[in-house]
Structure 1
């Protein structure tokens, strides 16, 4: 269930190579830049109101996932739950992403990182490192909105400094109070909020940060060989969440300008915010979902930096064997001590 482009020389599939940052043909070795392939396929159009493109969408009735592909792509299973009962529909005049951060970590590197990660869990079930499980790892472009805001903070605080004074045999402690006022204007750029309903917010937050200096104008060839999820939430629907985050950033930045005091007690704090813009972007994530003893587990890795977020299950059988082994060693040690005594 991936987007593919055909090699103009031999007709084989072109796949985006994360190291070369080009589309590469595995059959004849042809390499095409994203810009070249976009000119060849002319897969999207532009107008004065923004970028618009035609997508094919697959909806999973089992888990509700919505995956976007280009018009030539077919889907075989849902990477979120494994269901094959996918419903195909067509999205026309759909708002295309403004930007994309291409994958820097390829599939083999992601599989190796997953194997190293599973080995950290001494009681991890063996099937989690099996070849059949590893092959299910998927490269997914997760939809995000990134926001630019201007903020203006006014803060008044009661701050103290403590000094001591000795007169004869008596030591006096003085607490001096200061009325401190701060007014700080700050601009926050590219503050992210994931727009996926299927991806847990705490997981996505922990995968940050992404290096936005590598962000490119969106072109469909960047998706070749990968999945792309349709956003579930608009920028307006996520505004409360992102403004809460920016308000905390602005307030914290203002408080950090107050230093050199024994204590700081904020009396008044007013944060004004003005949104400049919000852009729809796709950010790279390697993901593997697995189910163990009727519970879902997820491995997620930042496809640009390699940062991993996830939780490993513990096998009851391996835990029991480990406990039995430890108990046997303890029993042996106690027996030897008993004999010596």
Structure 2
């Protein structure tokens, strides 16, 4: 198994993907290249000098040991420190020098994503959004705002399957419409009964299902929607400087989960076409949902996991849109403090009001 580092053509330093410029950037000399231009540059090197010289720019090393727990050990190409990954990690970086590294074998063949949405929100912006979120919770524990905690915020490319479905729903319903007519002092109420039938067809494109065991399904669903207009053909350069994992679940294993969503959507559409009635009672429904295809993609997420009073919490941020999905712990000390403060303020206001009236 090989690990790869994208190196600057000018100075040889490790490059990372910059979400602001949407290019590979060198932190040493300031050079930047689009991911496509970088790949084309490497191809030109292949043609001109052969693959031996490519190692000067995309450095590779074989893993040295593999434990029974499927952990792999590599060496950082910059400082020589050990990089330890599990069998699903496809992109990581050295915790000592920050050198970004790809595990190419976990991005090839059946594990090669078709598309990726590159990060649009950089680390600086993600930290700013996190701090703003903290300020909106006065009872949030102070420990969440410590520098050591904020430094743990990580950008992760999460594996997803995107499914396309053709769906049809046939619905039978009993409906009523109530009319009220007044003649003189008398009010007449009429109830009309209707048999309603709907036959609705729709196509659903790119219904997502996260394929990672580590990521909670509910929170990943809540991070939607992503703007799929930003999907680009996958290239390893987009992962430089971020974490990434290959999928844990294949497309067949998650297809039923996505199908449930398609079923709900077509049912809701069919039901929404039955309008203008006082009551509607669905008597029967037939559905036909057909999978038209699927794509394996990587989607950007900023995340932070933390514990408070023995309970685990998470902060997730959509790395494209900035949408937040997070758990907020409550500090007992701050709750007591603010309760006392409110009590004192209320006491003062009541007494001042009483003196003024007197």
The interval holding the TM-score normalised by the smaller chain is 0.7 to 0.9
Aligned 8 A contact 1:207 1:302 in 2 = yes
Distance 1:244 1:339, change over 3 A: same
Q: Does 1:195 align with 2:214?
A: no
1:1-150 map, 5 Å: 4-41=5-42, 59=71, 67-69=88-90, 76=95, 91=106, 93-150=109-166
What is the distance in 1 between the residues matched to 2:201 and 2:32? 47
Q: Does 1:153 align with 2:174?
A: no
Q: What runs of 5+ residues in structure 2 fail to find an aligned partner?
A: 44-60, 73-84, 97-102
Task: Give the CA RMSD over aligned residues.
Answer: 3.0
| 3-state DSSP of counterpart to 1:237 | helix
CA-to-aligned-CA distance 1:69-89 (integer Å, 9 cap, x gap): 35xx66549xxxxxxxxxx99
Query: Which structure has greater helix proportion?
Result: 2
| 3-state DSSP of counterpart to 1:179 | strand
**Which residue in 2 is equivalent to 1:209?**
225
**Which residue in 2 is equivalent to 1:48?**
none
Distance 1:120 1:55, change over 3 A: farther
What is the distance in 2 between the residues matched to 1:141 and 1:302? 11
CA-to-aligned-CA distance 1:284-304 (integer Å, 9 cap, x gap): 000111122221111110000
**Which residue in 1 is equivalent to 2:320?**
304
Q: Could you tell me how far 1:12 is from its partner in structure 2?
A: 1.4
What is the distance in 1 between the residues matched to 2:128 and 2:62? 32
What is the distance in 1 between the residues matched to 2:314 and 2:37? 36
CA-to-aligned-CA distance 1:142-168 (integer Å, 9 cap, x gap): 111110000111111112222233455
**Which residue in 1 is equivalent to 2:180?**
164
CA-to-aligned-CA distance 1:152-208 (integer Å, 9 cap, x gap): 111111122222334554332111112221111111100111111111111111110
Aligned 8 A contact 1:104 1:303 in 2 = yes
What is the distance in 1 between the residues matched to 2:327 and 2:150? 16
Aligned 8 A contact 2:93 2:241 in 1 = no
**Which residue in 2 is equivalent to 1:47?**
none
